[in-house]
Structure 1
Amino acid sequence: MSEPVPVTILLVEDDEVIRRSVAMALERYGYRVTVAGDGLTGLELFRDGRHDLLLLDVMLPALDGIGLCRRIRESSTAPILMMSARGDALDVVSGLEAGADDYVVKPVDTAILVARIRSLLRRAAFVPPAAAPSDPPQMVAGALVFGDLSIDPAALEVRRAGEEIALAPTELRLLLEFSAHPGIVLDRQSLLRNVWDYGWDGDTRVVDLCVQRLRKKIGADRIETVRGFGYKLRR
């Protein structure tokens, strides 16, 4: 029987001490880690190899983490976890708007970092939520249909007006969660638990920014904001 292929992480961090300590910590958990000290080198490594997850610092020389995240998102839906030294709202929002799935603030405890990584990898494995048993949406050839939007939970395909839409793992899992509960308001904390797999209260900005990205792809009016409560998918 062949040995399982270890998960490969691309770590892009300019501080050598942090880069080495994080890489060593992740390797102790069984991950294979490729490292880069600047954004351009990180981009080259990303293009040259297969990486299951990317761990990017925000402040990088040559090409910063936000720019690197955008470049990666042009051709890949691999999970991206941003690291910020400050945790400033601007850093967090910029990273999430660029396509990152989550973020951590440095210095980060190894156990928390690994928990976030495992959560992202589980999301990337696409375990769709179960469909709501009552008042289901219209089904056409196994797909859930909401106007011009069709969602196939089995094939993990989303189409709008017949054209397939490329969604990042977190965007797809978020849409599947909404489609399993059409017309029902889902609050941000429950979305964090069910989509981001947080076992604790997290920063709800990740939800808001992911909803914004999803709206741009499936239609701005498809997901309704219910002020003071959360979001719902229009029937």
Structure 2
Amino acid sequence: MSDSTREESGLAQDPAPETGRAVQIALVDDDRNILTTVSIALQAEGFATRLYSDGETALKALLDNPPDLAVFDIKMPNMDGMELLRRLRAQSALPVIFLTSKDDERDEEAGLELGADDYIAKPFSLRLLIARIRAILRRAEPLRDGAGPSGSTEPAQASITRGRLFMDPARHQVTWDGLPVSLTVTEFLILEALAVRPGVIKSRNQLMDAAYPDDVFVDDRTVDSHIKRMRRKFRMVDPQFAAIDTLYGAGYSFNDG
């Protein structure tokens, strides 16, 4: 860590550059060695980092002063990563990558169901983590106000109306029958890919291409989990929601009828 690093209540935060604003990445892990190693790697890539060693401290800070993206470990004492993600998702759509044990698929599934945008199994390569972070930031950039990581601004995107569904990509807003539905960045982009062409079946690979760049690998289970979670969110405002159709073996489509 640099001498300028500041630590407060489990938090270590590097100051933003004098000109412009560095993209802020929050790291939450009770392993100080991992926090230090990942932070140094991210700083070398031009990111500013905030480090938290416990979930309670992290939750308050992420809600009071949201970063651009957060990376959570699942296995932590007191408030673990799952509980932290659950509480965060109740109030925020902040992009989140979570870290899970390599041999525990239940953690991966549970994290995606709670609203994580992606997951990486431990042990992981820093190169892969940085690639995933950049991928999610690219997807989230048009949804943030002002300049993105590159300093460029995205043009406003046209809203989408399909039957009872309304989507405003520029503001990351979704409503069903006029009622708001809170979606993560990944969920929003998958739904957008389906809603742009109602009735057209999109394969899992096509939906992965819409939500993830080619240099980031995700499997079919990830897309299925995002679809399942989206359906659940829409059914919270409309128990009869059935606009996302499944064609087994082929993919998904949006039905605006």
Shorter-chain TM-score category?
A: 0.7 to 0.9
In the alignment, does 2:247 pair up with 1:226?
A: yes
Would you say the 8 A contact 1:101–1:206 is kept in 2?
A: no
Residue deviations 1:160-201 (CA, integer Å, cap 9, x gap): 112232222212111111112211111112211221224354
Q: Does 1:185 align with 2:233?
A: no
Aligned counterpart in structure 2 of residue 148 of structure 1, from 146, 164, 173: 164
| Structure 2 residue 141 is the aligned partner of structure 1 residue 120 | no
Tell me which residue corresponds to 1:64: 80
- What is the distance in 2 between the residues matched to 1:36 and 1:151? 34
Partner of 1:84: 100
Aligned pair 1:211/2:227, yes or no?
yes
For residues 199 and 5 of structure 1, do their structure 2 counterparts lie closer, same or farther at Cα, with a shift above 3 Å needed? same
User: Alignment partner of 1:211: what SS?
Assistant: helix
Counterpart Cα distance in 2 of 1:155 and 1:80: 19
The answer (yes or no) to whether the contact 2:135–2:216 under 8 Å persists in 1 is no
State the AA in 2 paired with 1:209: S
How far the C-alpha of 1:228 sits from its partner, in A, is 0.7
- 1:20: which partner in 2? 36
Matched, 1:96 2:89: no
Report the TM-score, using the length of structure 2 for normalisation.
0.79
- 8 Å contact kept, 1:83–1:105: yes
Question: Is 19-28 or 217-226 further displaced after alignment?
Answer: 217-226
Counterpart of 2:248, as a letter, is R
Whole-Å separation in 2 of the counterparts to 1:207 and 1:234? 18
- Counterpart residue number, 1:131: none
- Cα offset, 1:9, TM superposition: 1.0
Cα distance change of structure 1 residues 145 and 199 upon mapping to structure 2, 3 Å threshold: same
User: 1:51 corresponds to which residue?
Assistant: 67
Amino acid at match of 2:162: F
**Does structure 2 conserve the Cα–Cα contact (< 8 Å) formed by 1:126 and 1:169?**
no
Q: Distance in 1 between matches of 2:132 and 2:198?
A: 28
- Amino acid of the structure 2 residue aligned with 1:29: E
Identity among equivalent positions (%) equals 35
User: How far 1:87 moved relative to its partner?
Assistant: 4.4
Inter-partner Cα distance in structure 2 for 1:17 and 1:65: 18
- Secondary structure of the 2:57 match is helix
Task: Evaluate the alpha carbon distance shift between residue 123 and residue 218 of structure 1 in structure 2; reply closer, same or farther with a 3 A threshold.
Answer: same
Structure 1's unaligned 5+ residue stretches are 128-141
Q: Which moved more, 1:192-201 or 1:51-60?
A: 192-201
Deviation by residue 1:183-231 (Cα, 9 ceiling, x = unmatched): 1111112211221224354222221111112112335411011101111
SS in 1 for 2:200: coil
Unaligned runs of 5+ in 2: 1-17, 144-157, 236-240
Of 170, 177, 182 in structure 2, the residue corresponding to residue 161 of structure 1 is 177
- TM-score by length of structure 1 reads 0.86
Query: Paired residue for 2:49?
Result: 33
Residue of structure 1 in register with 2:147 after alignment: none
Aligned residues: 220
Q: Which residue pairs with 1:138 in the alignment?
A: none
Partner deviation per Cα, 1:103-123 (whole Å, 9 max, x = no partner): 001221111111100111111
